[in-house]
Structure 1
Amino acid sequence: MLPYTDRKVAGRVLARALEPWRGTRPLVLALPRGGVPVGYEVARALGGELDLMLVRKLGVPSQPELAMGAIASGGVRVLNEDVVASLGIGPETIEAVAAEEEAELRRRERAYRGERPWPELAGRTVILVDDGIATGATMRAAVAAARAQGPREIVVAAPVAPPDTVARLRREADAVVVPETPEPFWAIGQWYVAFPQLDDEEVRAILRRAWEEEAAG
């Protein structure tokens, strides 16, 4: 039986696992697109503030789903050295893929947030949320980008991830919360009944709802 019906259900399960952080007014930073509906449920349950952590995977050109690294806002770049070395990927290839993904990252910043000021991370509890974690390259870039801004604590949270990725992330984040750690892992979508691709308008709609609810108190 698959553990999650959809991202909303996964977010509610994850929120229960994050109960120790209720009352800390956490800043929940969701990784678009799939992490946004999960992050919405977490922020609402914990009384936190929802925003984004914009990260782009650097896919291997011949196997785009395989991450050779990731980039994040603020010029952060994390490489999966094992993948780069095993496939003999040269610096020119990495730079070409990174340039393309940096352009998409900037486009998403404009599309999702417009002119809204970025939240201050300094001194706050930051919970980084995605709908699942595979290699961890994207989340590691998110942790590095958040760490550079001086938060009090960084919590990595996702509904599902493989055990080895969770172990690696525990060396970089202050806490890692993942309710399901199956082995073998396969792919994130394998652990959901419904796992549709989200478009930009769906992401904007969730953010608008969250920000309106926060403004209303």
Structure 2
Amino acid sequence: MFRNRTDAGRRLATLLRERDIDADVVLAVPRGGLPVGRAVADELGLPLDVVVARKIGAPANPELAVGAVASDGTLWLNDSLIDTLGVGSEYIERQQREEAAAAADKLNRYRRGRPPLDLHGKAVLVVDDGVATGATTVACLRQVRAAGAKRTLLAVPVAPPETLSRLRMEADAVFCAETPRYFGAVGAFYDDFGQVSDAEAMSYLGDDGASV
């Protein structure tokens, strides 16, 4: 569906212009979301910054998300899965602290000492290169809302319909270029979905961190 992340960002920007979306700032989710966010921000003439969250994995299966936490500690938990697996509160609290600290460290490295953009009273557009389960996306959206955003918007090139339905309960509006019925992984919908390094991702923000 997409040649690469920049192509996806441009197509996503076209969709947003067609929907006449009025936003004040774009927040990209590192690392893969930054090439997409850069293209969206450039096409719409908006400033670009980052928003970071980390998955909280199950004790016996770290790849299985029982929750997610943003860099400011904003938390989302999959309560039904936690109950099913019998995950204890002490484990969740410990993982919340550790993953929030890791997310905050990553955010600081990407900003390189530059203060974050002020989100209070703004319409904030969160962008990623795609969404599968949406765990970290929910944490990012909740962090944006907690920062005082007037409207919280989400735009992604591709996502499964069932995930988008859940995310619409977290954001004021959700925009997605492609919603395939059969969804395996985000990378399956890109010709080029190579891993984005930290150095490459940070280059999309410019030399001084957040692009204003």
Gaps of 5+ in 2: none
CA distance in 1, matches of 2:211, 2:60: 43
CA distance in 2, matches of 1:192, 1:83: 31
Give the 3-state SS of the residue equivalent to 1:154 in structure 2. strand
Gaps of 5+ in 1: none
Aligned residues: 211
Q: Give the match for residue 171 of structure 2.
A: 173
User: For structure 1, which segment, 46-55 or 177-186, has the greater mean C-alpha deviation from structure 2 after superposition?
Assistant: 177-186
- Cα 1:71/1:213, change in 2 over 3 Å: closer
* Residue 30 (structure 1) aligned to one of 10, 28, 46: 28
Q: Give the match for residue 186 of structure 1.
A: 184
TM-fit CA distance, 1:10: 1.0
TM-fit CA distance, 1:210: 9.3
Q: Which has the higher helix share?
A: 1
Q: After superposition, give the CA deviation of every residue in 1:19-46 in whole Å (9 maximum; x if it has no partner).
A: 1456x45200001111111100000011
* Residue 104 (structure 1) aligned to one of 98, 102, 105: 102
- Cα 1:179/1:91, change in 2 over 3 Å: same
TM-fit CA distance, 1:97: 2.8
CA distance in 1, matches of 2:16, 2:48: 15
- Cα 1:68/1:147, change in 2 over 3 Å: same
TM-fit CA distance, 1:182: 1.4
Q: Give the match for residue 41 of structure 2.
A: 43
Q: After superposition, give the CA deviation of every residue in 1:24-72 in whole Å (9 maximum; x if it has no partner).
A: 4520000111111110000001111100111111122433332211111
- Calculate the TM-score normalised by the size of structure 1: 0.88
Is 1:144 the counterpart of 2:142? The answer is: yes
TM-fit CA distance, 1:135: 1.4
Q: Give the match for residue 94 of structure 1.
A: 92
- Calculate the TM-score normalised by the size of structure 2: 0.90
Q: After superposition, give the CA deviation of every residue in 1:166-216 in whole Å (9 maximum; x if it has no partner).
A: 1111122111001111123222122222222222111211111697975xx
Give the 3-state SS of the residue equivalent to 1:204 in structure 2. helix
CA distance in 2, matches of 1:21, 1:60: 41
Alignment root-mean-square deviation, CA: 2.0
Give the 3-state SS of the residue equivalent to 2:178 in structure 1. coil
User: For structure 1, which segment, 10-19 or 74-83, has the greater mean C-alpha deviation from structure 2 after superposition?
Assistant: 74-83
